Amino acid sequence: MMRNLAAHPDPLSLNTATVRERWTLPQIIEGCARHNIRAIAPWRDQVAACGLDTAANLIRSHGLRVNGYCRGGMFPAADAAGRAKAIDDNRRAVDEALTLGAECLILVVGALPSGSKDIAGARQQVHDGIATLLDYARPRGMKLAIEPLHPMYAADRACVNTLGQANDLCDALGAGVGVAVDVYHVWWDPLLEREIARAGRHGRILGFHVCDWLVPTSDMLLDRGMMGDGIIDIPRIRGWVEAAGYADCIEVEIFSANNWWKRDPDEVLQVVRDRYATVC
Ligand code: ZN
C-alpha cells in the first residue's frame, strides 16, 4: 500500500526486535507512544507472550500502525510432512497479521533442510511454499513481503539472497507478493539500484528496513549497528527506494546482543530518533 509523505510526515517505524531484550511488547508500545513513534513491526513470539487479542487491542488503542508482521517463511523441509507443517504455521501467521491489522507479513523464506546440500532444491521449495501460502493470503488481503537476506544466511535462514532473486520470485508468483528492502542485507549488491527500480515499477516494495553494517562485525546475527555507526550509505539507498515510488515506513531493525540490547530502551529509542533525523 503506497502512502505519500505529505499524509505521513514521519514514517519512522520500530521493529520491536530493537528493544526486545529489556521490554515486553506492551512496554514497547508504551515506549513508542512516549517517543512519538507511530508504527511498529512486532514479532510473533512477543505477540504470543502478550496474547494476540491483548496485543491487537493495545496497538489499536495507541493508534499505532503495524507496517509489517515478523515473520512467516521457513518453507523448506526434509520431507512433505515438514513442508505441510510449515505451511500450517504460515497460515496461522497470516491470521495473526490480519488480527493485528498488519499491512504485510514479512517472509524469511528458509534455507537448506538439515543434511541437504541442494540449494537449488531449497529455492524451489521456497517458490512452492510461497505459492501455496498465497492461495491463503491473497483472498484475505494479506500481502506477503519476501525479504532477501545477506548470503551469509543462505545455509540456515534464507536462500533468497538478492533483490534480483526476490523480484524473479515475485514475477513468477503474481499478485499479492512483494519485497522488503533491508539495507543490512542488500547494501553490497552491485545490481541493487537496478533491482530497486525494477521492484518499484511493479509497485511491490512493501518495506524498507534500516540499521548499519559494522566493521568488523563480531556476530553474524546479533551485531548489527545503529544507523551512522557503520559503512552503509543509507541516504543513497533511501533515495533509490523513493525514486522507485516508495514513500512509506522506514523501519529501524537492530539485532545487537552486546550493545543496544543491553542499554536502557528509552535511551535506544532516543538515539534511534536522533540518527533517523541525522543519518537516514
Ligand atoms: Zn529486515
Distance 141 CA to ligand 1 centre (A): 22
What percent of the chain clears pLDDT 70, i.e. is strictly above it? 97
- Classify residue 182 as exposed, middle or buried by CB count within 10 Å of its CB (0-12, 13-18, 19+): buried
pLDDT in tens, 67-110: 999 999 999 999 999 999 999 999 999 999 999 999 999 999 99
Q: What angle do CA 127, 199, 170 make, to 5 degrees?
A: 15
pLDDT in tens, 153-197: 999 999 999 999 999 999 999 999 999 999 999 999 999 999 999
pTM for this one?
Answer: 0.95
Distance 81 CA to ligand 1 centre (A): 29
Distance 15 CA to ligand 1 centre (A): 8
Distance 213 CA to ligand 1 centre (A): 13
Grid look-up 511454499 returns 129
pLDDT in tens, 108-167: 999 999 999 999 999 999 999 999 999 999 999 999 999 999 999 999 999 999 999 999
CATH code for the part of the protein at 12-278: 3.20.20.150
Domain boundaries, the chain: 12-278
Distance 69 CA to ligand 1 centre (A): 11
Q: Hey, how many other C-beta atoms are within 10 angstroms of the C-beta on 209?
A: 23
Distance 184 CA to ligand 1 centre (A): 8
Distance 182 CA to ligand 1 centre (A): 5
Distance 222 CA to ligand 1 centre (A): 13
Supply the Cα-derived Rg of the chain in whole angstroms. 18
